[in-house]
Structure 1
C-alpha cells in the first residue's frame, strides 16, 4: 500500500472516531472540535506554537529552540515583525502561514531571505495565498523538505536551487498566474510524488526529464513541445498518475503513434482528463492527424470528467461517447471544428454536458441522442445540466421521433438548460421535458424563447432572459418562482400586455438593464402578481420614470425591495405606505421627492417598522434620516449608508441597529 493510501486509512479511522468533522462552510473541508484541538495542542506541548489573533503572550516563550511546528493564522497587526524571531527556531519542522494577505507587498519576500537559511531542518513549508514575488535561492539548502506549497502566490519563477531538494515529495504551485518557468534540472527530484501546476497560464514549456519521475502520482498539467521539451509519449512511464491531468499543446503532436504510446487507457486513477489544442486554426494544423491523435488518446473507462478543447478534426473518434465509459459524469466540448456532435446519449452516468463555441455545427438532433438509444430506450438517462454557448452556426435542434405522447424519451432527469449566444437558432422541436426547472436564454431569438418556454411551461421555477433584443411578449410558465429579465431593450413596458399571464404564485422578479422600459402605470398593477410577490428588484433601467408608490401597500407578501440605478425616475425612494411584511430595503443612486426632502415629520418618510436590513447608497442629505433610523428597533444587520457631502465627496456612515 502506498503512503497516500495508508494516510487515507488513518484519516478515515480518525474521522470515524469524530477526531475530524465535516466543515459546515467548506463542502470538501474538515474541522476539529475545540476539545479535540485543545487535546492535540496539549499533547504537542512545547514543540508546537501557533500565533493567531488571540495570542498576545508571544514574548513569554523563553526559547525557540524546542519549537518543531509553527503556524500563523489570520491577520494580526505586527505579526510579520515577529516572524524574523523564528530564525532562532533552528529545529523547526513545519512553517505554515494560513489565510493571510500581507499588507506590505515586498515584506514577506525580504523576511524569507533572512529566515530560510536558518531553518535547514524544515520538512513542511506552506506559503499559499501569500503576497510573494520571489523564491529565495537559499531554498535549495532545505535538504529535508518534503512538502512545498507556493500556490496562489505571485511568484514568477522557481529558482534552479529547487532541483536540489532531492527529498521533496509534494510541490504545489497551482494558481500562480505570474509563474512562467520551472527549473531545468527538474529530473533531479526523484522522490517527487505530487506536482500540481494547474492554472498557470504563463508556463508554456515543461522541463526535460519529468517523464522519468516514476513516483509521480499527481501531474495536473503537461505542455507538449515541438522541439526540446515534454513529449506526449513520456506519459507512458508515469503509470501511477491519478486525479486530474490537463494535456496542452496537442497540435504539436505530429506522429499519432506517440499519442497511442502515452497509454492513457492504462491509467486507472485518472478522474479528470482535459485535452487541449491551440485555439489558433492555421494552415499548420492537419485535421486527419488530429483525428488520429485523439483516437489514440483514449482514456481508461473509469474517467469521470472529459474535456476536449479546440480539436480541428471534422469528426470525433468512436470512443467519444462509447457506452463503456459508464462512470463519465461530465463532458465539455469547446471550440472544436467538427460538423456534428458525437453520440453521447448512451452514457448512463452523464450528468453535465457543456457544448461551447462549436461554430461548424448546424443541426443538433438524433445524431446526438443516437437512434438506437432514443428509439429503443431512454437517451441521457442521468443528464441534469445541458448548456449550449456561443454556437454561431447552429440553426436547428430537433429530436422528432424520440417522443411518446409529446413527451421526450430523452432527458428524463434534465433540470437546467442554458442556450446562450446562438443567434441563428430558429427551430426547436424537442418534446416536453417534465423535470426542467431552470431555463436560461441569452442573446437568442424570440422563437427560441417561445419554444423553450413551451417545453417547460408546467414546471419551470427559474426563468432567466438576457439580451434577447427581439422579445416583446411571451407566455410565462405557470410555476415560475424567479423571473429575471435583463438587457432586453425591445421590452418597452412591464405591463400585462407585454409580459403576459404572469402567475399568481411568482415569489420574485428581477428587471435590469432594460433601457427602453417606459413608466410603470400608477394605476393598475397587472404586470406582476402583487399579492404573492416576495421579492422585487429593478436594476439599471435608464428610461424608467415612475414607480407605483401609492400601491406599495398592495404588495402584502413583499419581503425584499431593491431599486438600483434608475436615473430617470422622478424620485426613486419609495414613499407610499409600506408593505406590511417588508424586511429588506435597498435603494442605490436615488433621489427623494421634494415634498419629502423639505419635511422632517412626514409620515411618508417613515421606514417600515420591522425592517431588519437596510442599504442606502448615493443619496442627498435628508435631515430626518438619523431620527428615522433610530426608530428601527428590529434592525439587526450592520450596513453602510453612503451619501455625498456639499463638496461632492462620498461619505460612508455606519449604523448599527438596536
Structure 2
C-alpha cells in the first residue's frame, strides 16, 4: 500500500472513519471519496474499489436485496456493501493518523471538553463520524473540530429527539461531506459542501437555502417518509450528480426544471406532474443510470408525451419502476376502468435491452405492450414484478425471457391463467409448439389473484404443462379459485400456500414429499368442506414438520375418510385434534376404524386432543399403537367412565409407551383410568366430579394436579419424585399418604385451595407446616 499513489492511500485510510465490522455502502464510499477530492470520477472510484477488493483490503462484497423493502420502491434499490477485516482496519487507522476519528457511545461530553485542550484533536481531525452519542456531545464536538473538518457523519444518536446540526458558524467553511438527521437553514458558509445525507429524518421540506450549495454532488434523502417538498431552485444546482429519494412516499411533486441538471447520473424517484416543467419530458436529456422509479404516470397525457422521457435511450438504467399511481396506498383509479391511452403510453416507455429489473404497478390498460413480448429486448431481465394491473387478462410470454429468475404477480384481478396457448388451430406450428418452460426462474410470488384458476389454459390440439425446472421458492396467497399445482418442481426448497382453498391438499403434500420438504401449519377436516388448510401451510427444508390435523364432526362416511387419509403423507402430521367424531370410536372397533387408527400409528404423532366425543370406555384399542405420542388430552367426553373394553385385560398396558403428559378435563362420569405407563411425568384431572381413585403406579410422576374432583378422597401411596403438586376444590381429601408427605419438603411448587381439611394441616401451626414452610412457590388458602 505504501507504493500506491498518494490519493489511493487516502482512499484506503478514509475507511477508518467507519467502525470495525460495519458494512460500508460502495456507492457511498465512492461519493465520499469524490467529495474529498481523492478521486476525479465515479469510474475511477469503481476501479480503485475493485483493486482494494482484489488485494483483500475490502471483503465480503455483496448486493443487499430489498434492504429497505418496507418502502414501495425498495424493490429496485440494491446497494452493494462491503466490510473491512479488523487487521486492515487497524492498518487504515495507522495510515490515517489523526485524520480520521470515530466518536462512539463511550465518549462523554465531559471527556471531549477535557480533550479540547489537546491541539491534535482540534487541528488534525479532518474526517469524523458519530455513533450513538447525545445531542449535546455533538454540539460540543462541532465547536472543537470545526476548523479543518471536511467530513462529518452523524450516523446514530441516543436521543429520540434529533438535534439540528448548526450550519450558521463560519468555522465549517471546509466541510465537504455531511450526514445528519436534522438541519438548520443557514447554509451560506457551506459553499464547498459536496455530499449531503439527511436520510431517515423527519423533515417535511428541504430548506430553499439548500439551492445555494452550488458544489453539491450527492443529495440523499432515503427513508424521509414525511418529506413533501423539494426546493424549487434545484435546477440551479448544476453540480448535482446523484439524488436519492427512495422511500419518500409523501413527496407530492418534483421541482420545476429538473431536466436542467445536465450532470445528473442518479435520480431514484421522479413524481410526474402535468404542470409545465414537472412532466416526464424533463427526463429527456438526462443520462440516468442505476435505478429509476416513475410514479403518477396517469398524469402523462399521451403516448407522444411519454416518448419525450426517452426511456429507451437510457442505456445505463438497470432497474425501472413504472407506477400509474404513487404506491399502493394512494391508488385512485376506480375498479376496472380502462384508459384507452394507457396502452400507448406504456408502449412508449420501452426500456433499453440492458434492463435487469422491472416493476409495473397499478397499470390501467387491458393489454401489456409489445416490447414485453420481445424476449430479445428483455434478454437481460432477471426480475419482474407486476402489481395491481387489474384489467389485464393475459400475461405476455414470460417463459421466453432467458434470464428471468424472479417473478412476482400481485393483484392481477382479471387473470385466469398463467399461460394461455395459441388458439390458432389452423397453424400446425402452434399446435406442436413446446410447453412453457421457465428455464431460470428460481422465485415466484403469486398473491391476491381472485380469478386465477390454472397454470395453463387448455387449447384444442395442444397439451401444455408449465415447467419450472429451477424453481426454489414458490408463494401462493389469496388465490381462492386456483385448483392445481405445477406437476414437477424438482428443486423446490420453500413453498408457502395461504388462502388457496381449491388446491387439493394431497397435491401440496405429495409435492412437498417429492421435494423432501418439511411442513408447518394446520389442516381441518369437516364433512361438508373436506380437507382444508387453516391459515397457511409452509413447506421448507428448515426445521422439522409440525402439522396439526383437526377432525371435526365426522359422524359418518368413515370409509371416505379412510381413503382420503391414505393419500396424505403421514410424516408431516405431529398433532391430532378429534372433536365430535364418534365414527372413529367404538368398544368393538370395525376393521375400517382399526385401519384408520393404524394409519394414525404410522404418523409421527406427538400430541392428541380428544374432545366432545361420545365414548364410554377408555379408547385402549385406538391409542395402543401410537408409539410416539407424548401428550394426550381428553376433554368434554361426558359419557367416559374410564373402564376398559371387555376384550382388554385389567393389567394390560394400554397407554402409549412414550406418553409423558396426560390431562383429563370436564368428563363428568369418569370414575377411573387404566394403569399408567412408567414414562408418564405429568398428570392432571380437572372437573371430573365422579373420579374416586387414581392409578396406583405414579412413582415417576413429576407434576400432579387435581381440580374439582369432589368424589376423590385420597391419593395412592408410592408417589415418589413429585416436584409440583396442585389440589384445588377437592373437599373430601383429608390427608395425604405417608410416601407423598415425605416428598413435601422437596417440592418446588405447592398449591392447595378450597380443601378445608388439607388447608388447616398445611397452614402455619398446622400438622404439616414444618414440611411445607420451605417450599419456594407455595399457595395455601382460598383462590
TM-score when scaled to structure 2?
0.61
Change (3 A) 1:213 1:501: same
Query: 2:312: which partner in 1?
Result: 265
Q: Is the 8 A contact 2:524 2:531 kept in 1?
A: no
In the TM superposition, what whole-angstrom CA distance separates every residue of 1:185-207 from its partner, at most 9, and x where no partner exists? 11111111110101111002001
Query: 1:346: which partner in 2?
Result: 400
In the TM superposition, what whole-angstrom CA distance separates every residue of 1:68-108 from its partner, at most 9, and x where no partner exists? 434345435x574354232232221111122x2432414x1
Change (3 A) 1:22 1:437: closer
Question: Aligned-pair distance for 1:361?
Answer: 1.6
In the TM superposition, what whole-angstrom CA distance separates every residue of 1:179-233 from its partner, at most 9, and x where no partner exists? 1111011111111111010111100200111111111111111011022452112
Residue of structure 1 aligned with 2:479, choices 422, 438, 451: 422
| Residues 1:7 and 2:63 aligned together | no
Q: Which runs of 5 or more residues in structure 2 are unaligned? A: 1-38, 66-79, 326-330, 586-596, 614-628, 634-654, 668-678, 683-702, 708-714, 726-745, 750-776
Change (3 A) 1:167 1:82: closer
**How many Å separate the matches in 2 of 1:300 and 1:381?**
22
| Residues 1:208 and 2:267 aligned together | no
Query: 2:631: which partner in 1?
Result: 548
**How many Å separate the matches in 2 of 1:143 and 1:311?**
44
Query: 2:234: which partner in 1?
Result: 186
| Residues 1:383 and 2:441 aligned together | yes
Q: Which runs of 5 or more residues in structure 1 are unaligned? A: 579-591, 607-621, 626-643, 647-658
Q: Is the 8 A contact 1:156 1:179 kept in 2?
A: yes
Q: Is the 8 A contact 1:412 1:435 kept in 2?
A: yes
Query: 1:393: which partner in 2?
Result: 451
Query: 1:276: which partner in 2?
Result: 323
Query: 1:90: which partner in 2?
Result: 147
In the TM superposition, what whole-angstrom CA distance separates every residue of 1:322-365 from its partner, at most 9, and x where no partner exists? 21111111111111111212221100111111111111123333
**How many Å separate the matches in 2 of 1:441 and 1:284?**
27
Change (3 A) 1:465 1:372: farther
In the TM superposition, what whole-angstrom CA distance separates every residue of 1:108-145 from its partner, at most 9, and x where no partner exists? 13xx2377664232111112xx5x4xx31013531111
SS of residue paired to 1:237? coil
| Residues 1:124 and 2:177 aligned together | yes
Q: Is the 8 A contact 1:481 1:505 kept in 2?
A: no
Q: What's the C-alpha RMSD, in Å, of the aligned pairs?
A: 5.0
**How many Å separate the matches in 2 of 1:623 and 1:138?**
72
SS of residue paired to 1:46? coil
| Residues 1:526 and 2:594 aligned together | no
Question: Aligned-pair distance for 1:257?
Answer: 0.8
Q: Is the 8 A contact 1:140 1:162 kept in 2?
A: no
Matches within 5 A, 1:149-188: 149-188=197-236
Change (3 A) 1:499 1:195: farther
SS of residue paired to 1:22? strand
Matches within 5 A, 1:86-485: 86-88=142-144, 89-98=146-155, 100-106=156-162, 108-109=163-164, 112-113=165-166, 118-127=171-180, 130=181, 132=182, 135-239=183-287, 241-278=288-325, 279-282=331-334, 287-324=339-376, 325-336=378-389, 337-367=391-421, 375-376=433-434, 379-398=437-456, 408=465, 410-425=467-482, 427-428=483-484, 430-454=486-510, 457-463=513-519, 470=529, 472=531, 482-483=544-545
SS of residue paired to 2:403? coil
Q: Is the 8 A contact 1:460 1:479 kept in 2?
A: yes
**How many Å separate the matches in 2 of 1:645 and 1:70?**
62
SS of residue paired to 1:349? coil
Query: 2:697: which partner in 1?
Result: none
**How many Å separate the matches in 2 of 1:212 and 1:467?**
61
SS of residue paired to 1:139? coil
Residue of structure 2 aligned with 1:22, choices 60, 65, 78: 60
Q: Is the 8 A contact 1:341 1:367 kept in 2?
A: no
Question: Aligned-pair distance for 1:54?
Answer: 5.3
| Residues 1:624 and 2:748 aligned together | yes
Change (3 A) 1:479 1:14: closer
Q: Is the 8 A contact 2:494 2:541 kept in 1?
A: no
Q: Is the 8 A contact 1:549 1:576 kept in 2?
A: no
Change (3 A) 1:47 1:577: same
In the TM superposition, what whole-angstrom CA distance separates every residue of 1:23-43 from its partner, at most 9, and x where no partner exists? 799794322222322222222
Question: Aligned-pair distance for 1:410?
Answer: 2.1
**How many Å separate the matches in 2 of 1:140 and 1:253?**
38
Moved more, 473-482 or 225-234: 473-482
Query: 2:132: which partner in 1?
Result: 75
Q: Is the 8 A contact 1:362 1:394 kept in 2?
A: yes
TM-score when scaled to structure 1?
0.72
**How many Å separate the matches in 1 of 2:553 and 2:461?**
38
Q: Is the 8 A contact 2:493 2:540 kept in 1?
A: no
**How many Å separate the matches in 2 of 1:199 and 1:515?**
49
Question: Aligned-pair distance for 1:176?
Answer: 0.9
**How many Å separate the matches in 1 of 2:542 and 2:210?**
57
